[in-house]
Every structure is written in structure tokens, then in C-alpha cells.
Amino acid sequence: MGSEPIRLPIIDFSNLKNQTETWESTKAKVWQAIEEYGCFEATFDHIPLHLQKSVIHETKQLFDLPLSIKLRNRSNKPFHGYVGQYSIVPLFESLGIPDALSQGKIQAFADLMWAEGNPTFSKTVESFSEKLSELDKIVRKMIVESLGLHKYMDEHMDSSDYIFRFQKYDRPRNNESELGLTSHTDKNIVTILYQNEINGLEVLTKDGQWLTSQPSLNSFVIMIGDSLYSWTNGRLQAPYHKVMMSGEQARYSIGLFSVPKPGYIIKAPEKMVDEEHPMLFKPYDHHQFLQFFYTQAAQKSSIDALKEYCGV
């Protein structure tokens, strides 16, 4: 069946304080949404509209740079640097800043892209990424509390870094495919996406229907990744999603991806394993799994690469 326009559950994260009635009611909404869809739409008043508009403007300026400059964004880790020119998804292009919240990382990226410097870009992206990380931490804390894993809270929060990604999906021309990004699950912990006014994100529901997400200009899509799926021993599903493009305008999106730190071993807590929920995965290193996943052989051999890599 074709895509149907929907609105994912919308949850307001404004004016939250720990252990209050508002916190508990919001947490219940988060749990319900991720159980049903694996993702939801969030509003967050800590990120003002002018900052949201500024980061979209800076993203457009970034992608307007010559390809030779964007190719400076190199990394030996998959999807940590420049990605583009893929024949299967020619409309997609992205750049990344690994460990983005560490001191000087965003500034170093800006200096790499603009030899003369670009302080406006650095200031905007630093502010935006810091505020998105606040939202990420709130969501993850609510998930850990909902699972009753309070004693693992510090370990879970301290074992992660962030990747900040700029993404562009060009409009299809002539007889080009409308496929902006192939169907996949994110491999990280939690993804937070912000986009311009051009939609295209589609989410696969539990009953096998592709539904078109239509977030507002003042909201963010929050999505569970495979790292959290495995850590919770399958209690939470990472949703399959893709991007389809149409019309005459490019789609720009900005993503903050919480990822396990290199060397951290992902292992489901004992409480997540019982007779009804037997262990699904052997303990594994996220970054070693990425190296496996992004080999051509792994992508061709199995749609469930995580199960193939470390399934019990």
C-alpha cells in the first residue's frame, strides 16, 4: 500500500523537572509512543525558533560549498565523515562531526570548511547541538526509569558520545528515482532529527504500513536505534524508516546521534533477561559492529545484520 500522511505522537518537553507530576505524565507518553512506533515528535522550548531557523540557514550554506571542500570531512568510521555520490541513493549527501560536544570539535570542523573561518556557523551549531543533547538526555533518562533500570542510569548516560550530522536530500530530476535514503534502522542509541519545511521521512509501522511523518517546523523527531534495542534485549524496537523525495525543493535535516563510546561493550542488564525474554544478543562493541555492517558482504547477506553479527 502507498504512504499515508500521519502525525506521530507529539510530546511536549517544556518546563520539566525530575520527579514531578509533569515528568511522570510525560514519561508515560514517551514510553507509549516508543512501544507503538519506536519514534515520536517532540516540542522543546529550550530551543527557540530563531535558533532553529539559523541552523537550517547554516546547513544550506555548508552544502553550497564545492565538493572538493566537503570531501575534507574524512573519517575512517562509517557515516562519521562526508557521505555522497552513492549510485543507489544519488539524492543523499551528508557531513558529520564526531564527538561533537567535546571542546573545539565544531570549531575545528568550521575551520576545515572555511579557511577564513565562520564564527556564526560555529556559534549556531554549538548552541543547537548542546540544547539537542539536553533533550536526548531527558528522553534516555525517561526510558531507563520506565524500564526500572535506575541503578544503570549513570553507566548508560556516561558511556555515550554524540555525532552531529548535516543531511541534504536533493530534489529528483528528470527520470531520477525519488529514493532519498534506503530503508534502514539507525544503529546508534537515540536519534534526534530536525528538518526544514520539506517532508519525506517515512516510518514502517508494526502492521507493515509505510506512513509519512509530517513534523512541524517547531518540532523534532526522536527515534530509537539498534544500540538501545539490543541493550533493552528487544523491549524497544528500532523502527525501519526511509526518505522519499518529490517536488522542486531540497530537504535539509540536522541530526544528533547518541552513540556508545569506543570500547564500551553493549550488554543487556540481567533484569532485561528472563524466560519470556531470552537473551537476544551476545555482548558487543558498537564500533566494531559498524565496521561489519558497512562491509558490502554484510549489507548483501542479511537485512538483520545485528542478529547475524552477535545474535544468540
Report pLDDT for 301: 63
Residue type, position 197, single letter: E
Distance CA 198, CA 228 (A): 29
Mind listing the pLDDT tens digit for each residue in 152-198?
A: 999 999 999 999 999 999 988 777 778 788 888 999 999 999 998 88
Name residue, grid cell 556557523.
121
Q: Which tens digits make up the pLDDT trace of 103-144?
A: 999 999 999 999 988 999 999 999 999 999 999 999 999 999
Confidence of residue 302 (pLDDT cuts 50, 70, 90): low
Distance set, CA 309 to CA 83, 132, 185, 312 (Å): 24, 31, 15, 9
Model confidence at 60: pLDDT above 90: yes
pTM of the full structure: 0.92
Pairing of strands 201-204, 190-195: unpaired
- The Cα–Cα gap between 201 and 240 comes to 11
Q: Is pLDDT above 50 for 249?
A: yes
Residue 280 has pLDDT above 70, yes or no: yes
Return mean pLDDT, the chain.
90
For residues 208 and 101, give the distance between their C-alpha atoms in angstroms, rounded to a whole number: 37
Instruction: Say if CB 7 and CB 41 are below 8 A apart.
Output: yes
pLDDT at residue 86, rounded to an integer:
73
pLDDT digits (tens, 9 = 90+) for 73-105: 998 887 789 998 676 778 899 999 999 999 999
Could you report the per-residue pLDDT of 171-182, keeping only the tens digit for each? 887 777 787 888
Q: What's the distance, CA 85 to chain centroid?
A: 21
Give the integer Cα–Cα distance in Å for 205 and 237: 11
Q: How many residues are given for the chain?
A: 312
To which H or E segment does residue 309 belong? helix 305-310
What is the predicted pLDDT for the residue at 179?
79
Residue with cell 563510546: 261
pLDDT value of position 1: 43
Sheet containing strand 160-169, strands side by side: 10-12, 39-43, 220-224, 190-195, 251-260, 160-169, 92-98
Q: Domain spanning 4-275 has what CATH number?
A: 2.60.120.330
